Structure 1
């Protein structure tokens, strides 16, 4: 996520948590901080930093959960029901890994030149423990891969939101919000060298 604060404002509108600027996040890995937008009480957007990866359930031995794959899972159900636990994760590109173990390489994806290079993933967030210095945490939704991403990573792709869909994700009922969990249009995406 390499967009500036002014680029974020241009695409997503005004928000609280304004800063002079954000550092570029050339690569964001699980367990690392990333910017997110979420609704504040009263309806405005707030820009915050969140750690990528929800603390995992006991069944997963506490390993962080980075992607929301099964929207009907009890682990995600309460967050999906609550618009105040939804967020958008601004992104300027993302990668999937390909190749054999030991020879893996990153393949980067972004928007075509006809579109703004900045977009967002549909995400969920949660606060950290009251007595802990860490948190909040976030994870983003995934869905079936489109043709471009599927050629590299057939299992899934992030749920990509157009700026006009941000309000539906952040404010809609569960059914309306989850209806956005579909593959993004191939015609609007490209591989980035």
Structure 2
């Protein structure tokens, strides 16, 4: 599961800084730093033939009326009524500087940040929809690969740069990504 991620406007990360600055033009209250469920954060969405950043709230309203749903399982999203239409037509990408998970090995919890090796930017596959006039997103998760399995059994569907267009442009391409192995990640104490 992905319950928190990080988005810093670090001067060395020009790619992330540009996304944040673009969104802040219309949404000065946009959240940066550690992103929590229900925060409004930058999301990359297709507008014509170009990916543009937009401020979107994290979490679909729970159908039971309590809280929000922040993740969608890649394995079942194509069949679930809450996610099926979004997967077909409303895919987006979450820019980040990594995501957090906590160890659950019986001892004190340890917070780790996960990233792609040698990269300051990590993109995650997501879905969006509109609820009562408000745009919201969920992050897709999949079974953990070896790089995270000792910390958590689930991980976000991390997109490589080469997969970003495929995720956005093609429903079949998106399904192929959801069924493929995700890249190995590196962890560090957060």
Q: TM-score category by the smaller chain? A: 0.7 to 0.9
**TM-score, reference length from structure 2:** 0.79
Instruction: Return the match for 1:163 from 138, 161, 164.
Output: 161
User: Number of residue pairs matched?
Assistant: 175
CA distance in structure 2 between the aligned counterparts of 1:102 and 1:62, rounded to whole angstroms: 31
Decide whether the 8 Å contact of 2:104 with 2:151 is kept in 1: no
CA distance in structure 2 between the aligned counterparts of 1:161 and 1:126, rounded to whole angstroms: 20
Q: How far 1:163 moved relative to its partner?
A: 1.4
Aligned to 2:127: 124
Q: How far 1:149 moved relative to its partner?
A: 1.0
Decide whether the 8 Å contact of 2:125 with 2:139 is kept in 1: yes
Aligned to 2:176: 179
Q: Quick one: structure 1 residues 102 and 190, their matched pair in 2 at CA, closer, same or farther if it must change by over 3 Å?
A: closer
CA distance in structure 2 between the aligned counterparts of 1:94 and 1:3, rounded to whole angstroms: 15
Within a 5 Å distance, the mapping from 1:102-113 to structure 2 comes to: 103-113=108-118
Q: Quick one: structure 1 residues 178 and 62, their matched pair in 2 at CA, closer, same or farther if it must change by over 3 Å?
A: farther
Unaligned runs of 5+ in 1: none
Decide whether the 8 Å contact of 1:87 with 1:125 is kept in 2: yes
Decide whether the 8 Å contact of 1:51 with 1:136 is kept in 2: yes
1:78 and 2:85 correspond: yes
Aligned to 2:15: 7
Decide whether the 8 Å contact of 2:140 with 2:157 is kept in 1: yes
Q: Quick one: structure 1 residues 75 and 183, their matched pair in 2 at CA, closer, same or farther if it must change by over 3 Å?
A: same
CA distance in structure 2 between the aligned counterparts of 1:191 and 1:160, rounded to whole angstroms: 14
3-state SS, counterpart of residue 60 of structure 2: coil
What is the aligned-residue RMSD (CA, Å)? 2.9
Aligned to 1:63: 67
Instruction: Return the match for 1:26 from 25, 33, 38.
Output: 33
Unaligned runs of 5+ in 2: 1-6
Which structure features the higher share of strand residues?
A: 2
**Residues 111-150 of structure 1, C-alpha deviations (whole Å, 9 max, x = no match):** 212xx220210001122413xxxx3211111111011111
Aligned to 1:45: 51
1:87 and 2:95 correspond: no
**Residues 31-64 of structure 1, C-alpha deviations (whole Å, 9 max, x = no match):** 1122101011x22222111111111113xx4431
